[in-house]
A and B are shown apart, each in its own frame.
Chain A
Amino acid sequence: MQSESAKMTTAHEAGFRVQYPNSKQRAAKVIALDPASAAIVEEISQKSWNGAAFFTSLAFTGEGNPGAVGGDLKAWLKDLAGRTMDLVAEVEHSDFVVVITTTGADARAVSVIADACALFNKSLVGLIVPGKDDSDAATTESMKYLRPYTRMLVIASGTDYIEAMLTALRA
């Protein structure tokens, strides 16, 4: 008698796979960490996405007192329309967060985003793409910023990978 596994692994049986969706839309937050990656993020955001939100910079103000420094700092994300959004609230309502930096750029803002991710147990993926200086030393420098905070770090040779990855993640 044919085994259950033999019967169920044919192409014919594969045709009976349930056709209903097996997942809901996920909220991906894609954040550029430096000006060069902001330009890349802006360009990618023009494509069709499944609810992903794109941010081009991170800024800090004293809560309720824009421009203040020190003490009660609050982090703000700037979206493509130029609006400022509360980082903590954005992360809280996300399913995962992707940060993008270019090699050699100052990516220290990742630590603030990582703190917010840690607060709500959100997964943080880091992506390093070539910048003006794409030497090994510059890559290493970028990696030092991101490595302590990301569960997955990708060092890609081209910006086309960002779109491929976000599509694969249904962002």
Chain B
Amino acid sequence: MLKKEQNDYLCQTGPGTPMGNFFRCYWQPALLSEELPEPDCPPVRVKLLGERLLAFRDSEGKLGLIDEFCAHRGVSLWFGRNEDCGLRCPYHGWKYDVTGQCTEVPSEPTESGYAKKIKLKSYPLIEQGGVLWTYMGPPEQQPPLPQYEFSTVPLNQTFMTKRIQECNWLQAMEGGIDSSHVSFLHRGDLHNDPLFKGAGGNKYNMQDLSPVFEVVESDGGLLIGARRNAEDDQYYWRITPWVMPNYTGVPPRGDHPMHGHFWVPIDDENCWAWSYDYHPTRALTDGEVAAMKDGKGVHVKYVPGTYRPLANKDNDYLMDRAGQKAGRTFSGVEGIGIQDASLQESMGPICDRTKENLVGTDNGIIMARHRLLRAARAFNDKGVQPPGVNPEHHTVRQAALLLKRDVQYKDGAKEALKAKKGVRQTSV
């Protein structure tokens, strides 16, 4: 349960809000590289943290993320011509470079310097790991580039998708750290999904349906461990890292690629669910990539030409009551990503947490909210740099492993929880 004012504090990320200021401390995924594939390609509308922006790649390949609207009469520059190192408004020909600087106002003499006095707000946009990242905070506080392992391995070892989710970012993100829902909502997928099945650790999931949880604070956020009984006085641990404010990793299965998410606010009622898969030491196989493109694992199938899931609220998520009754799926909805999205969207655009009744096993969620509130207040009131800004905090890995029963997993899995170049993930 959260009080209304706490819920509002965490859910509102627009400009000038405390949580909006907080999010603007971090690099965030803005677009897939494939959305701006080449110089002078069509510009793309982007809405992030409640701001309408436009991304484009100029004639020299430079990336820009600028205010969507022309400073002259407020036309959307999405209609603009991307040409000769700038974006030209089709209405009266005003032209802007990737920094948002106006370079031409055709109706005014060049010598007048009028264009120099026009500049649209812009944010840095950098390319890393097949993702275009942006930082929307004060330039003087721009942190070093993100160091998440999925975005720093060679491109043939990583695969990223995004899908729109029509609800507030927090209820989506909380699904990523709510380990106890997996045994219900996603049951069945362990056996069937090509990106999960066959892992040695799966048997522990099936043998012990009552995992026990331990939540430990980390430098960047949290580690949430779920343990199940295993042989020889051992526990089978699945450890989920959460890095503030909105990154979650899913513990691995066997040698399958590791996956996880970013949950990025578009506005207060919509977010982007980014889903990655990567392998630290090998290229993804053709079969794995084909499965990911086919919407398996944490990925989804799309409405053609969009990033909207094919199963969405407009078609009741292709609800299959017969499949639900027969046990093919637990909820009647196919696919892990849509199973999550369907339920999270059903909470409404912004979940009313004053009506919740949480239980002890929800402590991962309770702690995450507590840490977000504490860090956001410390940042807004005292300027304290929040956890997760330091790139060292990004180099955490999810892990699945067997440990002696009396070992604290933060210690026993210490090395497994660190991303190390050229070192395989720790997985069972």
Q: What residues of chain A have their CB less than 8 Å away from a CB belonging to chain B?
A: 2-6, 8-11, 13-14, 17, 22-23, 96, 98, 123-125, 136, 139-140, 143-144, 147, 150-157, 160-161, 164-165, 167-170
The contact sample of 20 A-B pairs, CB cut-off 8 A, is: A3-B313, A9-B166, A9-B313, A9-B349, A11-B269, A14-B350, A17-B352, A22-B355, A23-B357, A96-B359, A123-B360, A125-B363, A151-B213, A152-B215, A152-B363, A154-B363, A164-B366, A168-B1, A169-B1, A170-B358
Contact B349 A151 (CB under 8 A): no
Contact B317 A136 (CB under 8 A): no
Q: Does B384 have its Cβ within 8 Å of any Cβ on chain A?
A: no
Q: Does B112 have its Cβ within 8 Å of any Cβ on chain A?
A: no
Residues of B within 8 A of A140 (CB): 408, 411
Contact B345 A153 (CB under 8 A): no
Residues of A within 8 A of B349 (CB): 9-11, 14
What is the 8 Å Cβ interface bit string for chain B, positions 347-377, against chain A (1 contact, 0 not)?
0111010010111111100110110001000
Contact A5 B214 (CB under 8 A): no
Q: What residues of chain B have their CB less than 8 Å away from a CB belonging to chain A?
A: 1-2, 166-167, 212-217, 269, 313-317, 342, 345-346, 348-350, 352, 355, 357-363, 366-367, 369-370, 374, 405-406, 408, 410-411
Tell me the minimal C-beta distance from B342 to chain A in angstroms.
8
Contact B217 A156 (CB under 8 A): yes
Nearest chain B residue, comparing its CB with the CB of A150: B212
**A88-B406 Cα distance, complex, nearest whole Å:** 28
Q: Given A9-B348, A11-B269, A169-B358, are A161 and B367 neighbors across the interface (CB < 8 Å)?
A: yes
Report which of B215, B316, B358 forms a contact with A155, defined as CB distance below 8 A: B215
Residues of B within 8 A of A170 (CB): 1, 357-358
Tell me the minimal C-beta distance from A164 to chain B in angstroms.
4
**A156-B317 Cα distance, complex, nearest whole Å:** 39
Kindly name the residue among B217, B363, B366, B406 whose own CB sees the greatest number of chain A CB atoms within 10 A.
B363
Nearest chain B residue, comparing its CB with the CB of A142: B408
Contact B352 A157 (CB under 8 A): no
**A5-B406 Cα distance, complex, nearest whole Å:** 47
Report which of A9, A17, A165, A168 forms a contact with B2, defined as CB distance below 8 A: A168
**A10-B217 Cα distance, complex, nearest whole Å:** 35
Q: Give the tally of cross-chain contacts (CB within 8 A).
A: 115
Known pairs A17-B355, A153-B214. 18 more at Cβ < 8 A? A2-B314, A9-B166, A14-B348, A14-B349, A17-B348, A96-B359, A147-B214, A152-B360, A153-B212, A155-B217, A156-B217, A161-B370, A164-B369, A165-B363, A167-B1, A168-B358, A168-B366, A169-B360
**A168-B352 Cα distance, complex, nearest whole Å:** 13
Tell me the minimal C-beta distance from A37 to chain B in angstroms.
17
| 9 nearest A-B residue pairs (beta carbon) | A14-B348, A125-B360, A5-B313, A164-B370, A152-B360, A168-B366, A153-B214, A6-B313, A140-B408
Contact B359 A169 (CB under 8 A): yes
Nearest chain B residue, comparing its CB with the CB of A140: B408
**A9-B342 Cα distance, complex, nearest whole Å:** 10
Tell me the minimal C-beta distance from B384 to chain A in angstroms.
14
Contact B214 A154 (CB under 8 A): yes
Report which of B215, B342, B350, B405 forms a contact with A154, defined as CB distance below 8 A: B215
**A2-B317 Cα distance, complex, nearest whole Å:** 13
**A165-B366 Cα distance, complex, nearest whole Å:** 6
**A107-B352 Cα distance, complex, nearest whole Å:** 38
**A13-B374 Cα distance, complex, nearest whole Å:** 32
**A69-B252 Cα distance, complex, nearest whole Å:** 51
Contact A96 B348 (CB under 8 A): no
Kindly name the residue among B361, B367, B411 whose own CB sees the greatest number of chain A CB atoms within 10 A.
B367
Residues of B within 8 A of A10 (CB): 348-349
Contact A11 B212 (CB under 8 A): no
**A8-B167 Cα distance, complex, nearest whole Å:** 13
Tell me the minimal C-beta distance from A43 to chain B in angstroms.
18
Report which of A11, A22, A98 forms a contact with B357, defined as CB distance below 8 A: A22
Nearest chain A residue, comparing its CB with the CB of B408: A140
Residues of B within 8 A of A165 (CB): 363, 366-367, 370
**A6-B319 Cα distance, complex, nearest whole Å:** 13
Contact A5 B317 (CB under 8 A): yes
